[in-house]
Amino acid sequence: MTSRTGAGPRPAGRGSAGTALGVLLLVVVLALGGWFGLDTITADPSSPTSPRAPSSAARASTDPETALLWVAVSELPAEARRTLTLIDSGGPFPYSRDGATFGNFERLLPTRPGGFYHEYTVPTPGTASRGARRIVTGEQERLFFYTADHYASFKRIKR
C-alpha cells in the first residue's frame, strides 16, 4: 500500500497552478477587450440591462422614460397600423381577448397599478391562432407598445 505525501500529480481542477494561470489569462483577455472596445459579448446592446452604453444613435431612438426602442407607426406592420386605428375608434375588435387587462408580469413596461395596461391582437397572416403580435396600451397616459414575440420584448410606438 502506498501513501500520498504530496508527491506525484494533483487531481485536475483542484487549485493547481494551471487553473490559476487560466483564470488570470481570462481576466487579462476580458480587460484588454474592454480597453480596445472589443466587448461585443453582450447579446443585445440596446437592452436596458446591457452593461454597454448605447451609442448616440441608439440613445436618440430610445424612449428615455422606458429605455425601450422607439418604433414609428409607419414602421409597424400593416396589421398593427389597422389595430391602432381600431383602438383609436374604440373597435369593434375581431378577437374576444382584445381590450383585456395586460398584467405586465414580465416587468418590461413601466410599473403601473393593476388594470392600467390593455392588450390588443395584431393579426399574423398565415396563422390560425391569434399569433404572437400584440399592441399593449396604457391609454390614461397615451402609452402604446408593440411586441412581435408575445411579450418577450417591446418597442414603444411613437405617435
Residues tagged active-site: 119, 150
SS3 state of residue 43: coil
Closest to 67 measured CA to CA, from 52, 53, 46: 46
Whole-angstrom distance, CA of residue 80 vs CA of residue 156: 13
Q: Which residues have C-beta within 8 Å of that of residue 125, sequence separation ≥ 6?
A: 79
Report in angstroms the alpha-carbon separations of 64 from 5, 19, 156: 64, 44, 11
Contact in structure between 92 and 83 (CB atoms under 8 Å): no
Closest to 148 measured CA to CA, from 83, 60, 64, 85: 83
Q: Which three cell numbers stand for residue 5?
A: 505525501
